[in-house]
Every structure is written in C-alpha cells, then in structure tokens.
C-alpha cells in the first residue's frame, strides 16, 4: 500500500531544497548510510525516481524520507568521545562544521545515560555534569526522568521511592560510557547520591542530582554553559542516548532510520529554532525518547544553551533555556521553605527565661558511677542556642529532670534527654494542660496550636510525661510535669502511630523492673528519626516524622555483682527504615518474609541507630548487648511483647 503521508512529506522536503543538499552530501559517503545498510548509489537512484514509483526499485517512500532526514540531521555515533562522520555533513551547515564539532568533543565524556537500580526499567534518559566545585559534582536531567525513581519533597529536593514489590528503594546511577563498539568502563559509572532539586509539575522540566565523584584518573568535568540562550538559526547539537520509542513515533520510520541500534551515545547536529514561549528553546536535531535530559550544545558559542525535554520525530524539539538552568544553580534548593507569613488565628501563651530559673536540665552524671553525655548531633540540624545557654551546654533547653536539643531546621526537638529516679516516682493525674511556647528560642521557629489544626495530627511528647513525675517532693514532680507541655518538647505525630504503642510506652518501666538496676536510676534519650520520606506538616516548614528512637541507659549488676553500663536502643517504625538498612548492607536474607505497614517497636544496635540518625552516641555503642552479635537476624528484634527485649 502506497504511503501517501511520506510522499507528501518528501514533496515538502523537495521544495525546501533538502533533497538537493542530500544529493550533494552523497559524494562524501555519509557514515549514517553505512549504518542503515544502504549505498550512496542506491540513494541517488531513489532520488531520481518519482516518489510514487519508489516501490518499483525496492524502496518505500518512508525509507527514503528517513534517509533524507538521516543525511540532513544525522544522529552520529560517538566512540571514545569522537564524533563519527563529522566530515560528511550536508550543506545545511557551514563549511567549518567539522572544526566546530572537534572543538566540543572534549565535553562529550561528561554526558551519560541515567540508569536505574531495583526498577523494571534499566534506564530512563540522559544526564550531564552541570557543575563541579571540586567537592560536589552535580548532574542535570529532566524531572520526568527523575520521577521514575524519586519523588519531590516539600523542601524541593527529591527522595528515592520504594519499589512496589517490597521495601527496597530505587536508586540511580549515570554511565558516561555506553558508546557503540566501545567496551564498558565501570570507572565511568557514578552513583547518584541524592536529588538536590526536583521541579514541581508546573515548573521547567529539570532535576538536579549530586553524584559520586569519579576515581582518580577518570576525567569527567562540567560542561561549559553558554553566555546566552542562543539565536534563531544558531548551529547546535544534542548529545544523548536515543531509545526505541514506538509509542510516539512510527515504528517503520524508526526502523528505517536507526536499524535497531539504540541506547548508545549519539551526536545529533541541527539548528536552533527560538520559540516565543517563555523559558523554552526549539531545535530540529534528531531525537528519540532516551534523549530526555540531553544537553543542547551551541557549536557557535561552544557551550550548553539548553536542556532537551520533549520532541516530535521529524517535526521539532523543545529545551529548557540555559538562563533558567543558571537560575536554578544559584538557588539554595535544599533550604526548607519558610511558612507563609500571616496573622495567627490564636496567640499561643509563652514562658520567658525567668520562668525556667532553677532548672538544671539533663544531668550527664545522674548514674553516679559513669557519665552519659548527650550525643553529638550533625550540623545540618542547626541546633537552637537558648538565651540562658551555658558555655558547656550552649544548645540545651533545660527543664526539670530533662533537657532538649532543638532543631531550627526541622522546627522540632532533635533529642530529649530524661533522667528517671524510680525510687522517687510520684503519681500525678494528667489534666487538660495548655501548651506553651518557650521564648528562650525564637517563637517563630516553633510550632503552635494553628500548626496542629489537623485532627489527625497529635502533639507527641518526646519525654514520657509520667516518667518525669518524680522528685524529693510533690512540688518538684508537678513542675516537671508542667514542663513537658511546651511545643519545644513535642513532635507532630499521626494519630495512627498511637495504635500500637504499648511496647514503646512501657519500655522504661519494664527495663527498670526486670534488671538488677543500681539505685533505680536510668537515662532515656528520645527523638524523631528525620528522613526524606517524612511528609510536610502543612506549610509550617516542619515535617511529620515517620520513625522515632529511644535509647535507655542504666547501671546493672552482672553475675559477678560488678556494676556495668547497660544501653539499649529501640525504634518505633513501620519497618521500611530498618529493612532498607539491612538491604543496603547486603543482608537480604535477614529481611525475607519481613512485613511492615503497622507501627511496631524494634530493638536495634546503637551503632545501627547512629547510621539511621547521623548521631554519635559515643561509648554507649560498646555497652549495647547487641553490639557483638554477628548474625544479622540478631541485630534487629521486633518487640511484640516486652519480655522479648534482649538485656
């Protein structure tokens, strides 16, 4: 059956002089013809035959159309960062086109294929190095490529998704090789550490990721960015990995054009077609689906003018302008957005520094025989400095029997440290106490009642209120009880978390009652485990943590009546965090049959908790009964009954 659409398009190409330019180019024997398995003489014969008579010489109109496009806008192979066939381009380009291509060849090794791990798709697009300050290397690709394995967080960065077939996270890497006929080089495959920017659906189609630096001796640097977005008619090229794309392109045309040689690095020259649409460039380089995220390099300026993101085979393509990319690089994309400024519907009551006079906070020497200092927390939490902070503890909010290290970045307590004296416990009935802001730190960096307006979000005490109720007299115990009702002591918790907390809430009581505890004294560290999966709490700038930890320390007597420091760690979680930790360490067998979804209490090694939180608990990791267990199955214990705790 005659292909009337291809005949019509061939007639259009003839009127623009494209067929004449191809005729001239045939004398140079373009390498693309060799790739297509067609001789220059066969093409000359076809060009001299009427379009409706092509079938009589064994050629289809669609095949000739593909050949004409291939010669005019060839997707040339890249081998060892050299462009094959650059000396045989048609008259669409100026006489010095091969020299311009040679000038940009040193950049081609910094363009790679974005590949996926734990995903049913092996790869999803193209990426390239956009910045390298000697410490951090950034790759850029399209949002729609990144979103195959990652999701945007409320901060504007991205976090890898979990596979729907288990609790394994997706991952990504970029292979700067994948050239036809060139052996693979593992040293040129770099891990994607994290997405530092993932555009929302209304913004330019851009994703930026931090990637692992290459090993010494591997030369991969940033592509230069052009000084301007380019002018109409400027000579450009798209470098990337065209993939078979039969859903958006005619399969026959693609077969005629690419002859099943897809997924490898190609260099496709063309011309810039400036569009009026704000932020978008047009170009007529040959692209397919795998080119998503490719750099559009100006051969006239010697730098990138755009980021390719969409196209229609044989019609035209669109790219994000380089000026937009520069603007994104200048932004601090990992900063937590500030909450909208508006007059609160309710004014929370406050307590100033004078109210807290006489509070000693957490006592590191509470166990008397050995000190248990506060852990060291990572700098990115941006710990608050209370107005009454001391030289030795500048970050501690001191309350009765407990202290809090508060993260300004998270608008949340990062850790609460509580001393418990079981011999002096006093029962105090909980009343409908008001919640207060602590003016020793900025009030606008604390949550308030309006932020907890969602009925499904609770104010979760980071110290167990009943555990603070002790002292030499009832007055002291009541003061400790009241101190727990400050927003600096609470973390937003989904109401569903409360459904399976019996093991979590009773940990302190059980451990003190079932060990030969010296002096009935213990310390408890509690806090959220901040992860990129935590959902935002409205527009407050805070998140709703999905995991919490607790570390209990005390002195216990062993079988020789010798006092020793005893430390155990627990995580309240739906299980994904723990399973991912084991899988990343290659302990897949430890999580076979592992189910999650409901909140449960897990006993974990303190050293593993350090990996989850980034906190340094010092000598406590050596006082952990799980510290020296070799079997992976003993590193994590699901606690369905308190008697399962390993002492």
Number of domains in the chain: 3
Query: Do 299 and 424 belong together in one domain?
Result: no
Cα–Cα distance for residue pair 415/435, rounded to 1 Å? 19
Domain end among 306, 335, 364? 335
Q: What is the pLDDT of residue 457?
A: 84
Both 214 and 296 in a single domain? yes
Do residue 326 and residue 387 come from a single domain? no
Sheet strand arrangement including 412-421? 396-398, 402-407, 412-421, 521-528, 548-557, 563-573, 600-604, 636-639
**Residue 266 domain flag:** yes
Number of residues in the chain: 647
- Cα 113 to Cα 166, 172, 188, 320: the distances in Å are 26, 10, 11, 19
Which distant-in-sequence residues (6+ apart) come within 8 Å of 593 by Cβ?
none
pLDDT in tens, 242-289: 876 544 445 555 555 555 667 899 998 988 887 655 567 888 888 877
- Regarding pTM above 0.75, the answer is no
Contacts of range 628-632, beta carbons closer than 8 Å, 24 or more positions apart: 629/605, 632/582, 632/585, 632/587, 632/589, 632/590
Q: Does residue 568 lie within any of the structural domains? A: yes
Residue 364 tokens read as 């590191």
Residue 342 lies in a domain: no
Tell me, yes or no, whether 54 and 167 share the same domain. no
- CATH code at 373? 3.40.570.10
Residues 518 and 562 in one domain: yes
pLDDT for residue 398:
97
What number of other Cβ atoms are within 10 A of residue 44's Cβ? Answer: 14
Q: Which of 137, 141, 136, 174 is nearest to 158 (CA)?
A: 141
Residue ranges making up the domain that contains 20: 1-72
pLDDT at position 596: 44
341 within domain boundaries: no
The pLDDT of residue 578 is 66
Query: Can you list the residues of the chain whose pLDDT is less than 50?
Result: 1, 246-249, 332-345, 500, 515-516, 588-596
User: Using CB atoms within 10 A of its CB, is residue 41 exposed (0-12), middle (13-18) or buried (19+)?
Assistant: exposed
Does 198 lie in the same domain as 87? yes
CA–CA distance, 439 with 443 (Å, rounded to integer): 6
> In the listed set 16, 37, 72, which residue is the last one of a domain according to the structure?
72
Instruction: Please check whether residues 312 and 371 belong to one and the same domain.
Output: no
pLDDT of residue 456: 77
What pLDDT, in 10s, does the model give residues 116-166? 998 888 899 999 999 998 888 999 999 999 999 998 887 788 989 887 765
8 A C-beta contact, residue 302 and residue 106:
no
**340 is a domain residue:** no
The verdict on residue 618 lying in a domain is yes
pLDDT for position 51: 74
Structure letter (DSSP) for residue 231: -
Same domain, 296 and 399: no
pLDDT of residue 432: 55
Please tell me whether residues 443 and 329 are part of one structural domain: no
Last residue of a domain, one of 335, 359, 385: 335
Residues 249 and 166 in one domain: yes
User: Which pLDDT score, from 0 to 100, does residue 285 have?
Assistant: 84
Does residue 166 lie within any of the structural domains?
Answer: yes
pLDDT value of residue 464: 85
Same domain, 312 and 357: no
Give the phi and the psi of residue 254 in degrees, each rounded to 5: -65, -40
Same domain, 435 and 541: yes
In the structure encoding, which two tokens stand for residue 118, read together?
């734990």
Residue burial 472-481, b: 16+ Cβ < 10 Å; e: rest: eeeebbebbb
CB 642 within 8 A of CB 503: yes
Q: What is the pLDDT of residue 559?
A: 62
Report how far residue 611's alpha carbon sits from residue 573's, in angstroms, rounded to the nearest whole number.
15
In a domain, 626, yes or no: yes
């Amino acid at each position: 059956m005659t292909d009337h659409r291809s005949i019509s398009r061939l007639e259009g190409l003839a009127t623009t002089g494209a067929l004449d330019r191809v005729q001239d180019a045939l004398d140079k024997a373009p390498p693309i013809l060799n790739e297509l398995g067609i001789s220059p003489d066969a093409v000359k014969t076809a060009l001299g035959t009427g379009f409706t008579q092509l079938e009589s010489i064994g050629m289809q109109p669609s095949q000739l159309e593909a050949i004409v496009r291939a010669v005019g806008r060839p997707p040339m192979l890249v081998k060892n960062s050299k462009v094959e066939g650059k000396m045989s381009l048609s008259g669409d380009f100026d006489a010095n086109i091969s020299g311009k291509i040679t000038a940009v060849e040193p950049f081609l090794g910094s363009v790679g294929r974005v590949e996926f791990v734990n995903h049913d798709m092996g790869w999803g697009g193209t990426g390239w190095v956009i910045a390298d300050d000697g410490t951090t290397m950034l790759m850029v690709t399209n949002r729609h490529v990144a979103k195959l394995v990652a999701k945007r967080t409320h901060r504007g960065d991205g976090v890898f998704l979990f596979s729907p077939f288990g609790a394994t996270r997706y991952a990504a890497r970029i292979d700067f090789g994948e050239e036809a006929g060139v052996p693979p080089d593992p040293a040129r495959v770099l891990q994607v550490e994290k997405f530092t920017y993932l555009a929302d659906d209304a913004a330019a189609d851009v994703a930026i990721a931090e990637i692992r630096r290459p090993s010494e001796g591997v030369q991969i640097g940033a592509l230069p960015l052009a000084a301007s977005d380019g002018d109409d008619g400027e000579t450009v090229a798209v470098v990337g990995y065209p993939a078979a794309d039969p859903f958006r392109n005619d399969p026959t045309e693609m077969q005629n054009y690419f002859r099943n040689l897809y997924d490898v690095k190609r260099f496709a020259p063309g011309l810039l077609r400036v569009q009026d649409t704000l932020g978008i460039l047009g170009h007529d380089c040959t692209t397919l689906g795998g080119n998503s995220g490719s750099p559009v390099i100006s051969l006239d300026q010697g730098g990138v003018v755009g980021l390719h993101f969409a196209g229609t085979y044989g019609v035209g393509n669109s790219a994000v302008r380089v000026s937009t990319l520069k603007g994104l690089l200048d932004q601090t994309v990992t900063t937590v957005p500030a909450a909208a400024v508006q007059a609160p519907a309710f004014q929370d009551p406050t307590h100033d520094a004078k109210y807290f006079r006489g509070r000693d906070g957490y006592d590191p020497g509470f166990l008397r025989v050995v000190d248990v200092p506060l852990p060291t927390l990572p700098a990115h939490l941006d710990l608050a400095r209370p107005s009454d902070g001391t030289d030795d503890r500048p970050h501690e909010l001191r309350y009765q029997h407990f202290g809090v290290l508060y993260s300004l970045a998270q608008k949340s307590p990062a850790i609460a440290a509580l001393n418990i004296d079981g011999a002096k416990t006093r029962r105090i009935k909980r009343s409908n106490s008001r919640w207060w802001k602590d003016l020793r730190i900025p009030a606008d960096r604390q949550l308030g009642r309006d932020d907890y307006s969602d009925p499904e979000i609770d104010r979760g005490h980071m110290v167990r209120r009943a555990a603070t109720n002790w002292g030499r007299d009832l007055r002291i115990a009541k003061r400790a009880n009241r101190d727990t009702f400050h927003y600096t002591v609470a973390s937003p918790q989904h109401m569903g978390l409360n459904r399976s907390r019996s093991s979590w809430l009773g940990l302190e009581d059980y451990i003190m009652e079932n060990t030969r505890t010296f002096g009935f004294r213990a310390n408890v560290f509690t806090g959220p485990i901040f992860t990129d999966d935590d959902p935002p709490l409205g527009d407050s700038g805070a998140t709703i943590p999905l995991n919490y930890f607790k570390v209990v320390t005390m002195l216990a007597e062993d079988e020789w009546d010798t006092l020793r420091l005893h430390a155990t760690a627990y995580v309240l979680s739906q299980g994904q965090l723990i399973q991912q930790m084991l899988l990343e360490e290659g302990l897949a067998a430890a999580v076979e049959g592992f189910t999650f979804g409901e909140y449960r209490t897990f006993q974990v090694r303190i050293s593993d908790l350090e990996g989850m939180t980034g906190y340094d608990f010092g000598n406590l990791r050596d006082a952990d009964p799980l510290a020296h267990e070799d079997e992976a199955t003993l590193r994590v214990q699901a606690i369905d009954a308190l008697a399962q705790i390993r002492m």
